[in-house]
Structure 1
């Protein structure tokens, strides 16, 4: 990282600390007080030696010891205040960063998550913020304390004895050189270490999510070996980082205590020859030890601060990631427009597949209050149409209109409020039944939720659950069958009461009996609403007002079921194959 970028990263981190100035000011006051008391203790040591030990006065010794005890009490109180305030600040700032990053992530365009793995994003949101909390609340405090006390001790060294102080100062450049040299390597390795930890989390998360597939193919051993490789890779990088930090600390300690040894030799010679008193040498040794310990702490904390810069950089990348799907400055009110849709000469390439068009010169009109079905072989672009209608992406070429207004002129949030989606793969959250159904309309009453569940023919099943509507469904609804999950999502769509329904083969996971019941519920729901259906079972869309046959990203035929049996060879083949079955 170049110095300008590093400075910019730290400035961004400091922005989150600004709202809590009073905590910083309080911590700094406590820090300065404890630093002052610590430095005063050196003079107390001088008094104890010169007035107590050497003078042989019990009274003066007692007086000096009482002063030292009083200073110790003051230092303990100041340390408590400083530690509490700085630790509180670390927790609060970390929570603010975590919230700000999540708020930005949750609003990012869909294609961002094609290019960035969810496991790595979660690692940044959890591991990196936890690292920051530790550093802001502990390491940063130690660094500030060491800087203040070391600076003060250096001043007291010169006040006590200039000649010995020059010996200490002469060693400073030798100490700073390894800190700067090794610090750069530690920073680079810290970033690699955080990335490798993210890889470990991603791999483990994917294996756990697909645990049934792993076990059904007896691949537990393979996954264990593969995970071990990821862990060893992370460990190897961490080991290299630790070795660099350990070498840095050892080098600094060797140089610091080497300088101290030289200083003690010269100081001892001066005491013997009467140039300085034993108390002055004791005080000087005390301040020199503070400088040595402060420098050692700084060398240790410097590596931690480098990790903080790396973690902050990763978090800021998420925080300032730009949303490519944004509302215009003065969006039109989608609720006042007709619930009709039209795709005009639309060409679209997924960002992850820029060389292959998912839709090419695509044209389709979806009238208000009618049922439009999309059929065709796998990969024809049917699901892509849904993603464009929801404005998860913008087309590369062409235009998509809500009524006569381009979707780019609408607020995406308000646009999506006009729609409800029932996907082929039902999406449930780790929560209870009530919250999963109410997800589409958070202000709905419990009575409204129950009415929607009855319309989706899932109420009787819910009543049999241990806690009925308050029964937890497990991660992604793992405690339900595929058909039960799908009826929950249909109830969610019914509760949402949208103007436009997007149904991606909403009955594909249901048995024949449930399918018939849901078809009735959907038929009632589709009354006077614009409905777009992706159909794999042609039997479910025989009565659609318009069926668009798609192939290789284009509409190759349109019409009713009866018309297409005659006019479209592709549709006739699909129908013949299914109805024969």
Structure 2
């Protein structure tokens, strides 16, 4: 058997979008907003940094005293004093290094944590269409890999860069003071040292960003396969996925190899230039010492400062590559933070301060009731909508629908008719391109989304359960609920018995996405969650589709009790579950084609009658 990878190769994902970031190290300045809350720690770290750099440079003077006053002068007392001086400086440098390392590392961890929280807090407010074009695995990579990289940069590399810069400047000044001629020899080599940093640094930065993107692709691919592992194994695609994942890993490795090669060339070039200059300086300085133009101590101190300067330049060149990687990671994170939600509070009708809440107080005046809404609670007025990912195809077209308070309304029709889209728009996951949706007479685009969604409870066709215990999952819509309230909601959803049968009862953890439960059990937990929230409007999307016949009977009774005196919208493919709805709306191709009771639609709607014929053996039977 031969492999045919070409027909199953996945298209490359589009990178998460955001405002374009600056293409230089200046993008790192945007991290300053996360550092400023910790000014005292930053100042203390800088003081320790300056102290350490100053003490390091002072050791050179100890070396000069050691040679001139101790060795050359043959003075035991001067030798002892020079040694004590150097030991004292070493102790101060150890204390300063400890303080600097602790404060800078703490700052790096703190900024990384704050940045991670800021990105996550922004992500949870983004519109759902953003996640249609950006993979969750890539976003998770930004939250973890990129922020961890920045923590390393801020907590280590950035500190090393500052320390080396201070040491470089101080060593250069002391070189000039010690011997001007030798200093000019060293300075003449500086342009040669900076040249590879500028040339290779730019290449390293581009490859660093590309490397981070490739790592994100690897994580995203692995996450998707693990999430759908049953499907992979069911279709016996393990071998193919191993090969495909191997290609992703090798692609990431190739990018990383190029980045490492460029960094290695950068470091090697800098070291060659720097120590070549030192060698030339030693030759000239050695001749001057032999000719009596400078002392051995001065030459020793000069060599010490030159080595410190060389080490500083080498460190800066190495850290420069890390800073380039940090710039790439910062671009990705800042780009994510700059993504603007298409559903901001207040939407198209005003800024967040202009929003109104449901059930307004005397101080908050709602938008005036439209004349065509009457006493309806919900109203869709000439609503047209296209999903951002499918702009050429209308999901809804000039739809008009009124729903009275306390009414149960069922939506039926073939797949793609627009039923679920109504739920999406009502929850304001999207805004329609034209037309209005009103709730209590308020255009929902003028409502605070948080206040709007607090009035709703959704029981989806595929319930979302979290990796936590039963208490947490049922309480998700009402965190302050007592244990008794949770148990009462579970009983109403006919979930209490199977929950008690779990190994730890309500304390049992459900696994990722509730994998330890059956489909029917997941559905009943979702229903219990909605019952506990006690919403004004209930949205049921095939809420009983995953239940067996007996469970469906009990849950249907619970739902009927829950639906009394409550506005309920039901999406149903099984007509038997909505025969007693106050109104049944038949949809097709984004429009309402019929509306009425079950027995009325059997005679008035060919589409509804065809759906009934497919599901009932006696379609002509009407229900009173």
The alignment's TM-score, normalised by the length of structure 1, stands at: 0.98
Deviation at 1:343, TM superposition (A): 1.0
What's the secondary structure of 1:558's corresponding residue?
Answer: strand
Say whether 1:405 aligns with 2:404. no
Asked if structure 2 preserves the Cα contact closer than 8 Å seen for 1:339 and 1:369, the reply is: no
Asked if structure 2 preserves the Cα contact closer than 8 Å seen for 1:368 and 1:530, the reply is: yes
* CA–CA distance in structure 1, aligned partners of residues 531 and 549 of structure 2: 21
* CA–CA distance in structure 2, aligned partners of residues 71 and 394 of structure 1: 67
Say whether 1:17 aligns with 2:54. no
Asked if structure 2 preserves the Cα contact closer than 8 Å seen for 1:339 and 1:499, the reply is: no
Provide Cα deviations, 1:46-71, integer angstroms capped at 9, x if missing partner: 11111222222222212211111111
Provide Cα deviations, 1:428-477, integer angstroms capped at 9, x if missing partner: 00100000000000110111000000000010111111211111001111
- Structure with a larger share of its residues in helix: 1
For residues 517-528 of structure 1, what are the structure 2 equivalents within 5 Å? Answer: 517-528=554-565
User: 1:124: which partner in 2?
Assistant: 142
Deviation at 1:355, TM superposition (A): 1.0
Say whether 1:331 aligns with 2:368. no
Say whether 1:436 aligns with 2:454. no
User: 1:96: which partner in 2?
Assistant: 114
In 2 relative to 1, CA 453–575 (structure 1 residues): closer, same or farther, beyond 3 Å?
same
Aligned residues: 581
* CA–CA distance in structure 1, aligned partners of residues 559 and 172 of structure 2: 80
For residues 252-263 of structure 1, what are the structure 2 equivalents within 5 Å? Answer: 252-263=270-281
Unaligned runs of 5+ in 1: none
User: 2:567: which partner in 1?
Assistant: 530
* CA–CA distance in structure 1, aligned partners of residues 611 and 488 of structure 2: 37
Unaligned runs of 5+ in 2: 1-18, 347-352, 361-365, 367-374, 619-624
What's the secondary structure of 1:373's corresponding residue?
Answer: strand
The alignment's TM-score, normalised by the length of structure 2, stands at: 0.91
* CA–CA distance in structure 2, aligned partners of residues 348 and 331 of structure 1: 23
User: 1:490: which partner in 2?
Assistant: 527
Deviation at 1:171, TM superposition (A): 0.6
What's the secondary structure of 2:564's corresponding residue?
Answer: coil
1:503 pairs with one of 540, 560, 563? 540
What's the secondary structure of 1:56's corresponding residue?
Answer: coil
For residues 429-468 of structure 1, what are the structure 2 equivalents within 5 Å? Answer: 429-468=466-505
User: 1:391: which partner in 2?
Assistant: 428
In 2 relative to 1, CA 4–425 (structure 1 residues): closer, same or farther, beyond 3 Å?
closer
Say whether 1:229 aligns with 2:247. yes
Deviation at 1:332, TM superposition (A): 2.5
Provide Cα deviations, 1:249-303, integer angstroms capped at 9, x if missing partner: 0000000011111101100111111111111111000000000000000000001
In 2 relative to 1, CA 4–390 (structure 1 residues): closer, same or farther, beyond 3 Å?
closer
* CA–CA distance in structure 1, aligned partners of residues 438 and 298 of structure 2: 86
User: 2:65: which partner in 1?
Assistant: 47
Provide Cα deviations, 1:502-548, integer angstroms capped at 9, x if missing partner: 00010000000000000000000000000000001000011111111
What's the secondary structure of 1:394's corresponding residue?
Answer: coil
Deviates more, 1:47-56 or 1:532-541: 47-56
* CA–CA distance in structure 1, aligned partners of residues 39 and 458 of structure 2: 47
Asked if structure 2 preserves the Cα contact closer than 8 Å seen for 1:441 and 1:495, the reply is: yes
Deviates more, 1:10-19 or 1:76-85: 10-19
What's the secondary structure of 2:380's corresponding residue?
Answer: strand
Deviation at 1:367, TM superposition (A): 1.5
Provide Cα deviations, 1:397-455, integer angstroms capped at 9, x if missing partner: 11111132211111111111111000000110010000000000011011100000000
* CA–CA distance in structure 2, aligned partners of residues 569 and 4 of structure 1: 60
Deviates more, 1:143-152 or 1:332-341: 332-341
What is the root-mean-square deviation of aligned Cα atoms in Å? 1.4
